Amino acid sequence: MLTISELAERTGISVRTIRFYAGMGLIPPPTVRGRLGLYDERHIARLELVRDLQGLGFTLAAIEGYLARIPLDRSPEDLAVHRALLAPWLPEEPQTVDRAELEQRAGRALDDEALAQLTALGVIERNDSGWMLTSPDKLGYGLSLLDTGMDFDVQLAAKNLIEHHTSALATELVALFHDTVLRDYRERGRPPGLRKALIALLERLKPITVDGVVTHFQLAVNRAIRESAVQSEIKTGAHHA
């Protein structure tokens, strides 16, 4: 059992913020002994889940809606499943750097045009302290795209196409997982053995999914190139005829 100060120290969330979350109903009320409110592992688990949701870009209203579907009496073990669902996909923390450090990470000088293009690609954002890397992983991707030498409008269109189709794919894959694997876990009464197996599966799911997407995308591109070449030959033959 922890006091609110000890809970704040354990989770890295301020006392003021914990009280605010409690007022919103994001965490259960404390156990009251005399005039002292005490907190336990359930509170720690829910606060850690809130932090993970924030890391994925959830607004406070979205977090409230998400946690409203999880009863306050859920055990820390049950909440561990929710955290495992999120953990593999948590992005790197955004980082604010000055121009010199940004260029050091890029391994090159970046003129104003390159900075504007990286901003348009969603790789960096300007703020009062310098430049924010929305995700450090994106920097290499953005620089590689600029290095293709393609017209920037084409680069931007390609980036938007990739985002559009991967977003749709992600939505369908998540729905499939919830309607099958997670539904089976819930309908079987959340047994501890199945919970451990589910958490282990979630830890492996990201690399498996990424490998599957990359492999099938490569095959799809090869197929599209062949089909495009065949269509080009047909059109050329029809023109000569």
Locate the domains of the chain by residue range.
Answer: 1-90, 95-149, 152-188, 191-241
Tokens of 58: 């959830």
Residue 240, pLDDT > 80, answer no
Q: Tell me: the pLDDT tens digits for 167-178?
A: 999 889 989 988
Tokens of 77: 């073990």
Beta bridge partners of 126: 131
Which residues neighbour 121 within 8 Å (Cβ) at sequence distance 6 or greater? 138, 142, 145, 155, 156, 159
Band the pLDDT of 137: cuts 50, 70, 90.
confident
- The strand pair at 95-97 and 130-133 is best described as antiparallel
Please, what sign has the CA dihedral across residues 100, 105, 109, 114?
negative
Band the pLDDT of 234: cuts 50, 70, 90.
low
Q: Tell me: the pLDDT tens digits for 21-63?
A: 999 999 999 999 888 899 999 999 999 999 988 888 888 999 9
Q: How far apart are CA 168 and CA 176, in angstroms?
A: 12
Is 1.10.1660.10 the CATH number for 1-90?
yes
Instruction: Strands of the chain (E only): list them.
Output: 31-33, 36-38, 95-97, 124-127, 130-133
Intra-chain end-to-end CA distance of the chain, in Å: 86
Q: How far apart are CA 161 and CA 227, in angstroms?
A: 20
pLDDT for the residue 47:
94
Q: How far apart are CA 152 and CA 183, in angstroms?
A: 45
Tokens of 141: 């991707």
